[in-house]
A and B are shown apart, each in its own frame.
Chain A
């Protein structure tokens, strides 16, 4: 298993897709609800926080070059405490994957396929993801490589075409008597970058570690950039008061684009390419992570690994279909993100410091 290597560019793609998820559809609404027209400032600051969390994290990974996150945690914190640390991570990953899929299916139902039941969309997505995880890391990242340019290019097209509708005045006044809200919105802004830790499950396959670190840090910037730009564009196109009520502003953005010539009517069906592939990619990554987590948690040997994959085919749809209505899904989706803060600001730092102390002791001996 360890002889497969991921190239530096594949690490970059995995980094981008692990963060860029279903949030791209809701980020402008969520952030504007909290910080009005200055939402983008909070997002930038949240992005800085992301880097602040990611750099010590790399230090941890560097100490254990051939292990992935659950293995590192179990080694550093021991059998029992390690499992306690692992528990919120397991919970977060599986909830995040399931709820993202549900959010995505909901948006798909709302905008494209009215009569298709949500369960069929969720299950078909999960089954395809299961097949990719069943193959191996190499296949996964090869598929992500194919989806990456398509989704990024169509996202860029969306942004460029929206420029014709913008009214720059709507973003003003900048930071006027709003600093308190902006600061309050930094942590929620950081939530949207959930998944920056996903790389810990792939770094052990990197062929060139030094270059992989660099491409990881570079890759973190891509989602930050797209979230900030999408938010700014949405504010300029819709204005702050409507954004507070539009549920999927990015999709409405693609619906509001208009051409003088009628050759490209209904651009939003074309734009579905970017968000479907983005959500699918992040599902695949989180699927894999969840499988790894559970395998390590229950110490399941490699040859039985496929049964963990199969179990997810049931587990993910059950969790994602559990919330009865779309408003409840949003509520759960928000709550799950508190786990991310616990993981990002409590568990990762403790493990990192612990690992550093252990290393020092080992050197002294």
Chain B
């Protein structure tokens, strides 16, 4: 028995040495280029005015396309990680002016070729598991989100939780922002919507997974729009997407209403006129909100009942120094006033979406589909004609639970 085992062991040792020392996918962590953000612009021919280094760089950005003309320009953001520790240590003193990120731009008509072309400009292997944001320019969206999104959905490293933002004009500019606190603008941008529970003017769900779902189902949706200065980014309104293309802009107030109706209202402020005053303002800080949307079919006509219930604190009054005491009656009046503002605001946005854009950004069609499937079967092909003429009744109810530290 022992005689047969020994040669086997002797044979196994070299095999193990060969097979178990590494793996095919070994990649040193410092050789990976962690792509934090991607910006996609539509391609515009470069002007030949610039000279010197700039011109060389612009030459790099051109990809020689095998078929067709360049359509897109992709910019990726890589964090600059100093390879040699001694350099990093000595550089710490004067690190203030050094750029912390590296933006690489490449043009082309398909993204994978652009990406491979970039690999000829960097010694790192591009790696997308940590990708956080995708910024698209409005021109790309107007051309069609559904046309270009496939690369990002099919890619094995990208995850569905990547946030999508829209930039008016150049998307590359957003990534070029040098933020005040964070090191990389992509991280900064990714973390901006964290405040959605305090500011309801931020479009709520806007990741790749959600976009894929809406595009596949043919639903309209909204993506947050971002604007940038040299060192700041702001989420400001949103872009309306219908049938895979951008249909128009929504302002911040519209986004708030969209969030309310979609029952994604996490918190924010409601402003109203002070009862019995022409100039005074009262403010309510919303802590929780619940919206119930019910489709109603009466005599073959579809209408919607939207019931909004907000709870919160009485937060502020402006324009009154010695006003009334905040008592039970006063709060009752205020609650009515707040409810009224919410209703008017909702109506305004609903009308805008119905008449001006004809975009069902509230995804009311989903409500019909899930709750009145028989009716949906009949109308699903003419939803575009039905939606603008829908009767949507908004009823709001406000409840003040706390009044702060003063009466």
Q: Which A residues have a C-beta under 8 Å from some C-beta of B?
A: 110-117, 120, 169-170, 172-173, 176-177, 237-242, 244-245, 252, 255-256, 258, 265-266
- B285 → A minimal CB distance (Å): 22
Q: Give Cα A244–Cα B212 distance, bound, in whole angstroms.
A: 12
Taking a contact as CB atoms under 8 Å apart, the answer to whether B370 and A113 are in contact is no
Q: Is the CB of B216 within 8 A of A241?
A: yes
Q: CA A169 – CA B156 in complex, angstroms?
A: 28
- The total of interchain contacts (Cβ-Cβ below 8 angstroms) comes to 55
Given A242-B213, A256-B159, A258-B161: A116 touches B369 (CB 8 Å cut-off):
no
Query: In the complex, which of the residues A176, A239, A255 contacts B159, with contact meaning CB atoms closer than 8 Å?
Result: A255
* Inter-chain contact A115/B366, CB cutoff 8 Å: no
- The answer, among B24, B217, B370, for a CB contact under 8 Å with A172, is B370
Residues of B within 8 A of A (CB): 23-25, 129-130, 156, 159-161, 209, 212-213, 216-217, 366, 369-371, 373-374, 377
Do the beta carbons of A241 and B24 come within 8 Å of each other?
no
- What is the predominant secondary structure among interface residues of chain A facing chain B? loop
Q: Is the CB of A256 within 8 A of B373?
A: no
A114:B371 contact, CB within 8 angstroms? no
Across-interface contacts of B373 in A (CB, < 8 A): 173, 176-177
| A56–B161 CA distance with the chains assembled, in angstroms | 48
List of A residues within 8 angstroms of B217 by Cβ: 239-241
**A245 — which chain B residues lie within 8 A by C-beta?**
216
Check B370 against A173 for contact (C-beta < 8 Å). yes
Per the bound structure, the CA–CA distance linking A176 and B160 in Å amounts to 30
Query: In the assembled complex, which residues on chain B have CB atoms less than 8 Å from the CB atom of A239?
Result: 213, 216-217
Can you name 29 A-B residue pairings with CB atoms under 8 Å? Answer: A111-B156, A112-B25, A113-B23, A113-B24, A113-B25, A116-B23, A116-B24, A116-B25, A117-B24, A169-B366, A170-B370, A172-B370, A173-B369, A173-B370, A173-B371, A177-B377, A237-B209, A238-B213, A239-B217, A241-B217, A242-B209, A242-B213, A242-B216, A244-B216, A245-B216, A255-B159, A256-B159, A258-B161, A265-B130
Chain B residues, CB < 8 A from A242: 209, 212-213, 216
Q: Quick one: which of A111, A117, A239, A265 has the most chain B CB within 10 A?
A: A239
Candidate in B23, B366, B369, B370 with the most chain A CB atoms within 10 angstroms: B370
B124 → chain A, closest Cβ, in Å?
A: 16
Q: Among A173, A240, A242, A252, which residue has the most Cβ atoms of chain B within 10 A? A: A242
Please provide the 10 A-B residue pairs with the shortest distance between their CB atoms, ordered closest to farther: A241-B216, A172-B370, A116-B24, A173-B373, A176-B373, A239-B213, A115-B24, A113-B25, A241-B217, A256-B160
In the assembled complex, the Cα of A175 lies from the Cα of B377 at a distance in Å of 14
Shortest Cβ distance from residue B109 to the other chain A in the assembled complex, whole angstroms: 23
Closest chain B residue to A252 by CB distance?
B160
Expressed in whole angstroms, the Cα–Cα distance for A224 and B57 within the complex equals 59
